[in-house]
Structure 1
Amino acid sequence: MKTKSSIRILAAFAALLLFAAGCNTTANEKPTTTEELSQMNRDFAAAINAKDAVAAANCYADEATLYPPNEPAVTGREAILNYWKGAIDAGATHVSIKTVATGSDGNLGWETGQFQMDVKTPDGKVVVDQGRYTELLKRNTDGKWVSIMGMWNADAPPVP
């Protein structure tokens, strides 16, 4: 009789724990708006336009990876800083973005969109590059969304 009672108590306790675990959310796991998720790319575009590679790199998590078109992956904030510094030095400017879609689940999110920017070719000519991008985002400890993985591609073939 005592064993049957103990089993019922343990079963009730286990059910209560499972229920409580399902309700365990932190203050950071609040619903997220498109405005919040696309802020990372608005900050990024502003940084590139200001020729501020440090601010551009700060839009990414320490462990983030970029997948630029026709180039090897770039991993880590220091490497990302150097990548964007090189792009700025090469003449990337007039960046604009348009968010197409966003979504999130807790502290992970994503954004897709379209970009446009001026790029200087090796012969000094300025061409307008436009295309699409995808960002995987996470909410950092300050509650700010930062990219953990970014990928983009141009609508037109690469300029020779």
Structure 2
Amino acid sequence: MSTSFNIIDAANRRFEELFNAGKLDELVGLYTLEGKLLPPDKNKYEGREQIKKFWQAAQDAGINNLHLTTGTVLEAGNDRLIETSSYQHSLDKGNYQVIWKRTTGEGKNEWQLDIDIFN
């Protein structure tokens, strides 16, 4: 498995951990500041505040026990990765695609969700 796959798989484990523990303030920190979430409800959620509201509503609706299965991770230049994977939780299962962005500066060198699309 590639290094990119391992990086994203570890990030997915962290996403699961934070979501399942209800730690949404930390969870939205996994997104870029300008991150976008495009769920099947036909709305677009932009920025961490809106993304947090979406995930809070999901938890309030009874969604829990999230599990992400990392599928493929493709490199798209030096600062982007494209992940195509699947998810399962207490109420549904489906597929998703994330464009991950490498963020740097202030001692940071990490991958964050930039565009998150699922159905």
| Alignment TM class, shorter chain as reference | 0.7 to 0.9
Asked whether the 8 Å contact 1:64–1:148 carries over to 2, the reply is: yes
Task: Using the aligned pairs only, state the percent identity.
Answer: 28
Separation of aligned partners in 2, 1:39 and 1:146? 12
Equivalent pair of 1:53/1:88 in contact (CA under 8 Å): no
- Superposition misfits of 4+ residues, deviation over 6 angstroms: none
1:5-38 CA-partner distances (Å, limit 9, x unpaired): xxxxxxxxxxxxxxxxxxxxxxxxxx94211123
* Separation in 2, partners of 1:92, 1:58: 20
Contact kept? 1:40, 1:147, Cα under 8 Å = no
Please list the CA deviations of residues 121-141 of structure 1 after superposition, one character each: whole Å capped at 9, or x if unmatched. Answer: xxxxxxxx1110100011112
Provide TM-score, normalisation by structure 1: 0.67
Unaligned runs of 5+ in 1: 1-30, 120-128, 154-160
Q: Residue 60 of structure 2 aligns to which amino acid in structure 1?
A: D
- 3-state SS in 2 of match to 1:36: helix
Larger strand proportion of the pair: 2
After superposition, what is the alpha-carbon deviation per residue over 1:20-65, rounded to whole angstroms, capped at 9, x for unaligned? xxxxxxxxxxx94211123332221111110111122111000011
For residues 44 and 11 of structure 2, the distance between their equivalents in structure 1, rounded to whole angstroms, comes to 20
- Which sections of structure 2, spanning at least 5 residues, go unmatched? none
Q: Secondary structure at the match of 1:78?
A: helix
2:94 paired residue among 128, 131, 148: 131
Distance 2:9 2:49 in 1: 23
Instruction: For residue 93 of structure 1, give the secondary structure of its aligned residue in structure 2.
Output: coil
Counterpart in 2 of 1:156? none
Task: Indicate which of 56, 70, 75 corresponds to 2:41.
Answer: 70
Partner residue in 2 for 1:7: none
Q: For residues 1-160 of structure 1, what are the structure 2 equivalents within 5 Å?
A: 32-104=3-75, 105-119=77-91, 129-141=92-104, 142-153=108-119
* CA-based RMSD: 1.5
The structure showing larger relative contact order (alpha-carbon pairs under 8 Å, at least 6 residues apart) is 2
Q: Which amino acid aligns with 1:65?
A: K
